[in-house]
Chains A and B, each alone.
Chain A
């Protein structure tokens, strides 16, 4: 059976080039980067080289970048670290209703500790209103956290404009760029961002490594207290192989960005156009243009997402419904519900997130098998007959 992977927002495969680059650090080069002797010197250099590569992906200086264990850690570190560092200045945080759980749960936790959090609404396209953001800022506001790109819909937020507002009001600005990094060009120098989270496994490096951009002069209370690693900003002996992999993957992302964006855009447009032509009663979720080049989130009316995913899986196609992290929850996607979709439409959503290795043939195969699957599931649905 064909195996087709359309779930790159959940995770990406490790590229061969990346794997080859990291292997020596799991084998012969096992020294501790903090050691001053021969065993540590090579690994120290590898970590610092990787830091340069990842910095180049964001256009920051290497000093402004620390390595973490994940996107989740980066979000926790940025938000808690800033909140604790500025708690004498204020206790108010502004974020959105459609953030990843790594941000939402962190904010919920801070509420229990006495911080106040405003969760901004999104409109039907999945975007926030900048006027509402401005109106939400009070003298107590210390942090704004708005994601760069939404993991479920791919919707891109106006990071530069938000950064400008934050700067004018003297409020720190964090963005979760886990889904944006590697897919679109990012330039922190141009963005007025103080903190930015990224994660290795969304850009063809392995799971369990990430990075956090901390703009020079931004004070954070460390999340992981320990040794002097990462200039005292994060304790713990470095995950050298993972860091090297992330450096390599960042280099490749920069090298291939233009070509890759074109490739993904072409495939996504073919998918969305083809699906619209072949399957009636569908809805493409998220702003028509302000979206990542790789993400197509489609609601199939009258049917439920999981049963579509099972059918696709039987044909070898991997996709997802809502966020992979929230599968196992019974709630329909908080992102789609926030965008005003009905219960049924959010339950009936499938996310196809494309990547490097996908081809036109794979999209065409999907377009061929999807109409009969949807038709069969609809013929079993008590909602369909009534709507015809």
Chain B
């Protein structure tokens, strides 16, 4: 039922784990099914230099998690923010209809991580 790309990312997920000192962390639950993803990013000079993920979820959740880390690496924050659930699903050659909601998890975690980074930046600036 899954595309070859999904199975490839599921079997050999890229960027699994957690960064030790992340600039931003996004931990989200999927409201539809309750699955969970944690994404950590390292931002340098406005660019996402490194990224890692951990996911408790179905095959599609793991594949989309892996794909979003590939898509975001090396992008500046504005570009990164534009990555949506459909960008991720398309990059995987699509997902079965009942699994479309799974791609929300990856996009939501990415946006949460960026937001967390921006919040921290703002706090640091205010403290200065």
The reply to whether chain A is a binding partner of chain B is yes
Question: Which A positions have Cβ atoms within 8 angstroms of B?
Answer: 302-304, 306-307, 310, 314, 328, 330, 332, 343-344, 347, 379-383, 385
Whether the pair B58, A306 counts as a contact (CB closer than 8 A) is: yes
What are 16 A-B contacts defined by CB distance under 8 Å? A302-B56, A304-B35, A306-B59, A307-B57, A307-B62, A310-B2, A310-B7, A310-B10, A314-B11, A330-B33, A343-B34, A380-B62, A382-B37, A382-B38, A382-B54, A382-B56
Whether the pair B58, A380 counts as a contact (CB closer than 8 A) is: no
Q: A379 CA to B16 CA in the complex, in Å?
A: 9
Whether the pair A381, B54 counts as a contact (CB closer than 8 A) is: yes
Residue of B nearest to A303 (CB): B56
Whether the pair B34, A381 counts as a contact (CB closer than 8 A) is: no
Q: A360 CA to B98 CA in the complex, in Å?
A: 37
- In this complex, the interface size class of chain B, counting residues with CB under 8 Å from chain A, is 20 to 34
Whether the pair A382, B13 counts as a contact (CB closer than 8 A) is: no
For residue B13, which residues in chain A have a CB less than 8 angstroms away from its CB? 380
Residue of B nearest to A343 (CB): B34
Whether the pair A382, B36 counts as a contact (CB closer than 8 A) is: yes
Q: A306 CA to B34 CA in the complex, in Å?
A: 14
Q: A385 CA to B36 CA in the complex, in Å?
A: 13
12 further A-B contacts with Cβ under 8 Å, apart from A307-B59, A310-B59, A380-B62, are A304-B35, A304-B57, A304-B58, A306-B59, A330-B32, A330-B33, A347-B34, A380-B16, A382-B36, A382-B38, A383-B36, A383-B56
For residue B11, which residues in chain A have a CB less than 8 angstroms away from its CB? 314
Question: Which B positions have Cβ atoms within 8 angstroms of A?
Answer: 2, 7, 10-11, 13, 16, 18, 27, 32-38, 54-59, 61-62, 98, 101
Q: How far is the CB of B51 from chain A (nearest CB, A)?
A: 15
Whether the pair A380, B54 counts as a contact (CB closer than 8 A) is: yes
Mostly helix, strand, loop or mixed at chain A's interface? helix
For residue B36, which residues in chain A have a CB less than 8 angstroms away from its CB? 382-383
Q: A264 CA to B49 CA in the complex, in Å?
A: 54
Q: A382 CA to B27 CA in the complex, in Å?
A: 9
Q: A343 CA to B32 CA in the complex, in Å?
A: 13
For residue B38, which residues in chain A have a CB less than 8 angstroms away from its CB? 382
Q: A4 CA to B1 CA in the complex, in Å?
A: 19
Residue of B nearest to A310 (CB): B59
For residue A332, which residues in chain B have a CB less than 8 angstroms away from its CB? 34
For residue B37, which residues in chain A have a CB less than 8 angstroms away from its CB? 382
For residue A304, which residues in chain B have a CB less than 8 angstroms away from its CB? 35, 56-58, 61
Q: A302 CA to B38 CA in the complex, in Å?
A: 14
Q: A310 CA to B2 CA in the complex, in Å?
A: 10
Q: How far is the CB of B32 from chain A (nearest CB, A)?
A: 6
For residue B57, which residues in chain A have a CB less than 8 angstroms away from its CB? 304, 307
Residue of A nearest to B2 (CB): A310
For residue B34, which residues in chain A have a CB less than 8 angstroms away from its CB? 332, 343, 347
Residue of A nearest to B39 (CB): A382
Residue of B nearest to A328 (CB): B98
For residue B2, which residues in chain A have a CB less than 8 angstroms away from its CB? 310
For residue B54, which residues in chain A have a CB less than 8 angstroms away from its CB? 380-382, 385
Other-chain contact of A307, B33, B58, B98, B101 (Cβ < 8 Å): B58
Q: A230 CA to B33 CA in the complex, in Å?
A: 45
Q: How far is the CB of B56 from chain A (nearest CB, A)?
A: 5
Q: How far is the CB of A311 from chain B (nearest CB, A)?
A: 8
Q: A307 CA to B54 CA in the complex, in Å?
A: 14
Residue of B nearest to A309 (CB): B59
Q: A381 CA to B17 CA in the complex, in Å?
A: 9
Q: A338 CA to B7 CA in the complex, in Å?
A: 33
Q: A332 CA to B58 CA in the complex, in Å?
A: 12
For residue B56, which residues in chain A have a CB less than 8 angstroms away from its CB? 302-304, 344, 381-383
Q: How far is the CB of A79 from chain B (nearest CB, A)?
A: 28
